[in-house]
Amino acid sequence: MEDEPGKKKLPILYASETGNAMDAAERLGREAERRRCPVSVLSIDDFDPKSLPSEETVIFVVSTTGQGDIPDSMKNFWRFLLQRNLSEEWLEGVDYAVFGLGDSSYQKYNFVAKKLDKRLLDLGATALIERGLGDDQHPSGYEGALDPWMSNLWNILYQKTPKLFPNGPDTVALDGTWMDQPKIQITYHDIDNGNSQYSTDIDFKYLAMQMERTRSMSPGKSYGKNRPDCFLKLIENCLLSREVRGKDVRHLEFQAFSSAIEYEVGDVLEVLPSQDHVAVDAFIKRCNLDPEAYISVQPRETQNSTVGANHALKILPVKLKTFVELTMDVASASPRRYFFEIMSIFANAEHEKERLQYFASPEGRDDLYQYNQKERRTVLEVLGDFPSVQMPLEWLVQLIPPLKTRAFSISSSNAVHPNYVHLTVSVVSWTTPYKRTRKGLCSSWLAGLDPQQRVLIPAWFHKGSLPSPPPSLPLILIGPGTGCAPFRGFVEERALQSKFGPTGPVLLFFGCRNEDNDFLYREFWLSHLQTGGVLSEDKGGGFYVAFSRDQPEKVYVQHKMREQSTRIWSLLKQGAAIYIAGSANKMPTDVLSALEEIISLEGGVTKEAAARWIRALEKSGKFHVEAWS
């Protein structure tokens, strides 16, 4: 659909970490365009915040990550909004709407959307509609809140500015002009030689460039770096847990092959997993694609954009099979709702078309969620369930979830192991409602690697939520399960530092189910508990373990913390920092409650005052949480 000349576009700005907020924003954009309302859907870091006052209406779609953290793409925008020189009237006359994406199992649920909503109000903007809060825990995921919120939004916008919707807020164009076009275009190239193949000699710079070139073409490149910092080679793969209990936790050691590596304790390593070659071949065959063809992928040129032409100058073709392997998650991730809508257009069998149209409709939303997300059906499985569908490659590339890197807390010290990095990896495994066993793509791939094989693993290092502490800082570390991983690095480094001068004491609280089955790094902790060790009492330290299932009543880390309330309070009075790592489920909230109780009890203050005490610790950079689902 062509825009009317001179008609201003409605900006829809998104801040996404994993792609959900981008997906929701694009859905808002499509629904608006189908009502003939021109829109501009942009990542928030592509929007100039100085131009906000000149907008009549702005829609924000923002996700919350980790423990209430702002997505990376939003950080500059948020810093700008927090400037003290912005007046209370700065956004007077600007209408806005905020939709947030979060998970109510986290303590700071939809924190970013709530903070943005309040700040926009403080700057004089007017909320068109109460902020929408999408919840991953809802039976239909975030769309359970998005659908009714979006319907209300169109009605309110129409009442305020009727010209935005010429045919009304509920009238979708049915004359064929609503038919979406793919946002990318694919060019096939005649190449007879193998110049774009991986080099048989190990040329890391070439490999990195090949990967960067391939992944830079992916529509998912906006939330992931393309060129690896280095390539790693696995040198050790040890089982830490006992196999009899079905839990598979590994200690993995890697050597850097392509270049020297640098990281600090508390940093995070991202790796790009390899996909199952059988699944990739099955996908290519199902979609009638030529794996040997050479392609380039670029944004489709639009009337008002030259991005396609400019981008094309930087593109060299890659083999189609390589592109699929490195960028398209065909056998792990579940497709999004829009995938089913576009599939319905290309379905040749009437019964398949009807089922897909139902899945894509508001009435079929819950059934789609049960069929797709709850079962974690993969793209390959969905395509297998609808054999009459033949989608063009442009749509497949646009709609199939991008193959993403997976992040792991580093469990080693670079100072102790120069040019090596260690990870503690729990193989993710679960059973779907229909009793099908699923395994995490990256964790199961890493666990299955053989150190004797020559597998090159693309890796990226970056800062996590746990900053490296100075040697003199007293530490209170709480890391149940694989949450102990970063603290293994902390203890290693502190032990090295103690050889060259005095260091602050360390209290470490660890928890697991059974002493015999999953006491991770038992010998390591006990060695540092001996006289003169970092965790020893003579150094002011301590190591306390909660075995939750070794007695009739369950015992967790928070129970051990309460038992050691005097020692915790003593270290806090010495200026200690608190670090928490592990499962994001209930653990961070339970640990926080225990800390508030300890401060209230030992400090003789109210619970409210204890909560303020912890907030002050957080503001001073002495309270850190790294939690994962």
pLDDT tens track for 316-325: 789 999 999 9
Query: Is pLDDT above 60 for 37?
Result: yes
Name the H helices within 508-586: 522-529, 557-563, 565-573
pLDDT score of 202: 55
Question: Could you tell me the residue range of the domain that residue 198 belongs to?
Answer: 184-399
Residue 446 inside a domain? The answer is no
- Looking at the fold, whether 90 and 203 belong to one and the same domain comes out as no
Three-state SS at 166: coil
- Which residues share a beta bridge with 439? 429
Q: Provide the pLDDT confidence category of residue 201 given band limits of 50, 70 and 90.
A: very low
pLDDT score of 301: 65
Residue 326 inside a domain? The answer is yes
Nearest to 54, CA basis, from 90, 97, 5: 90
- Which residues share a beta bridge with 100? 62, 133
Q: Provide the pLDDT confidence category of residue 211 given band limits of 50, 70 and 90.
A: confident
- Looking at the fold, whether 150 and 263 belong to one and the same domain comes out as no
Per-residue pLDDT reduced to its tens digit, 548-603 = 988 989 999 999 999 999 999 999 999 999 999 998 778 988 999 999 999 999 99
Per-residue pLDDT reduced to its tens digit, 435-457 = 888 889 999 999 999 999 888 99
Residue type at 472 in one-letter notation: S
Residue type at 173 in one-letter notation: A
Binding site as annotated, residues for FMN: 16-21, 63-66, 101-110, 136
Residue 206 inside a domain? The answer is yes
Contacts (Cβ under 8 Å, ≥6 apart) of 374: 432, 433
Backbone angles phi, psi at 115, to 5 degrees: -65, -40
- Looking at the fold, whether 382 and 251 belong to one and the same domain comes out as yes
Number of other residues whose CB lies within 10 A of the CB of residue 40: 15
- Looking at the fold, whether 106 and 243 belong to one and the same domain comes out as no
CA distance 326 to 403: 7
pLDDT score of 224: 56
Nearest to 43, CA basis, from 1, 80, 73: 73
| Upper half-sphere CA count for residue 21 (Cβ side, 13 Å) | 35
Number of domains, the chain? 3
- Looking at the fold, whether 157 and 268 belong to one and the same domain comes out as no
CA distance 513 to 53: 55
Residue 341 inside a domain? The answer is yes
Query: Is pLDDT above 70 for 480?
Result: yes
381-387 long-range contacts (CB < 8 A, ≥24 apart) are 382/335, 382/339, 382/340, 382/343, 383/283, 383/286, 383/287, 384/286, 386/343, 386/347, 386/349, 386/352, 386/355, 386/356, 387/349, 387/352
* Domain end call among 131, 164, 197: 164
The CATH number of residue 305's host domain is: 1.20.990.10
Q: Provide the pLDDT confidence category of residue 162 given band limits of 50, 70 and 90.
A: confident
Please provide the average confidence, as pLDDT, over all residues in the chain: 89
pLDDT score of 245: 60
What is the pTM (predicted TM-score) of this model?
Answer: 0.87
pLDDT score of 172: 66
Query: Is pLDDT above 60 for 307?
Result: no
Query: Is pLDDT above 70 for 386?
Result: yes
- Looking at the fold, whether 513 and 599 belong to one and the same domain comes out as yes
The CATH number of residue 47's host domain is: 3.40.50.360
Three-state SS at 121: helix
Burial 532-570 (b: 16+ CB within 10 A, else e): ebbbbeebbbbbbbbbbeeeeeebbbbbbbeebbebbbb
Residue 611 inside a domain? The answer is yes
Contacts (Cβ under 8 Å, ≥6 apart) of 428: 439, 440, 443, 444
Binding site as annotated, residues for NADP(+): 482, 548-549, 554-558, 590
Tokens of 216: 């830079």
CA distance 12 to 47: 10
Residue 32 inside a domain? The answer is yes
pLDDT score of 302: 47
- Looking at the fold, whether 139 and 195 belong to one and the same domain comes out as no
Q: Provide the pLDDT confidence category of residue 150 given band limits of 50, 70 and 90.
A: very high
Query: Is pLDDT above 80 for 265?
Result: yes
The CATH number of residue 551's host domain is: 3.40.50.80
Q: Provide the pLDDT confidence category of residue 243 given band limits of 50, 70 and 90.
A: low
- Looking at the fold, whether 160 and 189 belong to one and the same domain comes out as no
CA distance 182 to 299: 9
Could you tell me if 161 and 127 are in contact, meaning their C-beta atoms sit under 8 angstroms apart? no
Binding site as annotated, residues: 16-21, 63-66, 101-110, 136, 376, 406-409, 440-443, 482, 548-549, 554-558, 590, 628
* Domain end call among 399, 433, 455: 399
- Looking at the fold, whether 303 and 341 belong to one and the same domain comes out as yes
Burial 43-52 (b: 16+ CB within 10 A, else e): bbbebebeeb
Residue 142 inside a domain? The answer is yes
pLDDT score of 246: 67
Three-state SS at 451: coil
- Looking at the fold, whether 155 and 300 belong to one and the same domain comes out as no
CA distance 359 to 597: 49
Identify the H or E element spanning 98.
strand 95-102
Q: Which residue has the tokens 């995490």?
A: 440
Query: Is pLDDT above 70 for 195?
Result: no
Residue type at 275 in one-letter notation: Q
Residue type at 289 in one-letter notation: L
pLDDT score of 198: 40
Please state the rounded mean pLDDT for residues 359-379: 90
- Looking at the fold, whether 314 and 371 belong to one and the same domain comes out as yes
CA distance 272 to 402: 11
Please state the rounded mean pLDDT for residues 390-414: 95
* Domain end call among 368, 399, 430: 399
Tokens of 478: 């709480």
Binding site as annotated, residues for FAD: 376, 406-409, 440-443, 628
Three-state SS at 394: helix
CA distance 20 to 22: 5
Per-residue pLDDT reduced to its tens digit, 492-519 = 999 999 999 999 999 999 999 999 999 9
- Looking at the fold, whether 227 and 368 belong to one and the same domain comes out as yes
pLDDT score of 176: 43
Q: Provide the pLDDT confidence category of residue 167 given band limits of 50, 70 and 90.
A: confident
- Which residues share a beta bridge with 255? 233, 420
Residue 461 inside a domain? The answer is no
Q: Provide the pLDDT confidence category of residue 222 given band limits of 50, 70 and 90.
A: low
Query: Is pLDDT above 90 for 416?
Result: yes
Of 8-12, 51-55, 58-62, the least confident: 8-12
CA distance 231 to 229: 7
